Amino acid sequence: MNPVNLAQLFILAALWGGSFLFIRVGVTDLGVAPLMALRVGIGAIFLLLMLAVRGKARQAFSTMRERAWPLIVVGVLNSAAPFCLFAYAELTLSAGVTSVINATTPLWGALVAYLWLSDRLTGMRVAGLAIGFAGVLALVWNQMFMHDANAVPVAPMTTALAALAALAASASYGVAASYTKKHLMGVDSLTVAAGTMSAATLVLLPFALFFWPTGAVSAHAWGAVLGLGVACTGVAYMMFFHLIAVVGPARAITVTFLIPIFGILWGALFLAERVSMGMAVACAIVLVGTALATGVVKRIPLFSARRTQSAKESKA
């Protein structure tokens, strides 16, 4: 990966990490469904315009008609449902904590692929799954019982429900990845992105109209909408698919490890969110588990060295 691609990877992580900041800012005024409907709607318009600029609109629309049902399913599983679940979670959880839970997406992806597509799970990947989910439990425990003295107290059950919603969102991403692999393999990635965002917009529109806020919406909330729709959805998806094309999906997916860093950073800088030592440790545990479960790290050096030495001694 050259310096330009590496810089693009960090920018993408900063954008997706920023989505948790924008959700936290916008959800209080707009509510869950209206905020997410606006996000996917703006993202869909941006991606459709990109198809038109590239001269692929006619071919893309033809593909969307042929693959309408799979695109709707992925639109729900990969956008509408997880976006709303994360927004609900951020009514209680901080942007930083939610971004860390989002990092479990590859764990769910590996688990779903094993159960549904019979993808092989090595012992190290199983260990990664266990470590990653243990990190989430540590993170949620920290949030339930370690409150800032200046923060408004939140009932542990409320925090637990918010964490479960964030985990369900990450699991939905995992199911969407396997469904996409099974039913949309070979379809142009930009067409998939535009089609699924358009489908998510249609699904969320009735809920957005029904739950549209009756009170005034602040300028900060509208700014969050623009940030989510244009930067964190439209531009971010374009960058992600560009990285997949030039460096491959395995390297592009490493953005997962950078998103929590920016999610925590933006929350601390702009929302004055407290970052405790327990939260930092839990984040590290989640990322180590994710690295093992996804195969980014295929072995633990010290453990592997001891195993090799034991094998030599047994042969001797």
Q: Per the structure, how many domains does the chain have?
A: 1
Confidence label for 239 from pLDDT (cuts 50, 70 and 90):
confident
Residue 74 has pLDDT above 70, yes or no: yes
pLDDT exceeding 90 applies to what percent of the chain? 50
CA atoms within 13 A on the CB side of 77: 18
Angle between helix 277-293 and helix 105-117 axes, rounded to 10 deg: 30
Tokens 């453990």 map to which residue?
Answer: 303
Q: Which residue has the higher pLDDT, 183 or 248?
A: 183
Give the model confidence (pLDDT) of 276-297 as tens digits.
Answer: 888 888 889 988 888 888 776 6
User: What are the helix and strand counts (H, E) for the chain?
Assistant: 16, 0
Neighbours of 48 (CB within 10 A): 20
Give the model confidence (pLDDT) of 116-151 as tens digits.
Answer: 877 787 888 888 888 988 988 888 777 766 555 444
Task: Compute the average pLDDT of residues 68-96.
Answer: 95
Residue 220 has pLDDT above 70, yes or no: yes
Q: For residues 119 and 232, give the distance between their C-alpha atoms in angstroms, rounded to a whole number.
A: 31
- Closest by Cα among 180, 237, 172, 198 to 40: 198
Residue 7 has pLDDT above 80, yes or no: yes
Q: Which residue has the higher pLDDT, 237 or 87?
A: 87
- Cα-based torsion angle of the residue sequence 249, 252, 256, 262 in order, rounded to the nearest 10 degrees: -160
Neighbours of 93 (CB within 10 A): 27
Domain that holds residue 68: 3-315
Look at residue 199 in the predicted model and tell me its pLDDT. Answer: 97
Task: Compute the average pLDDT of residues 181-189.
Answer: 87
Give the model confidence (pLDDT) of 15-50 as tens digits.
Answer: 999 999 999 999 999 999 999 999 999 999 999 999
Confidence label for 67 from pLDDT (cuts 50, 70 and 90):
very high
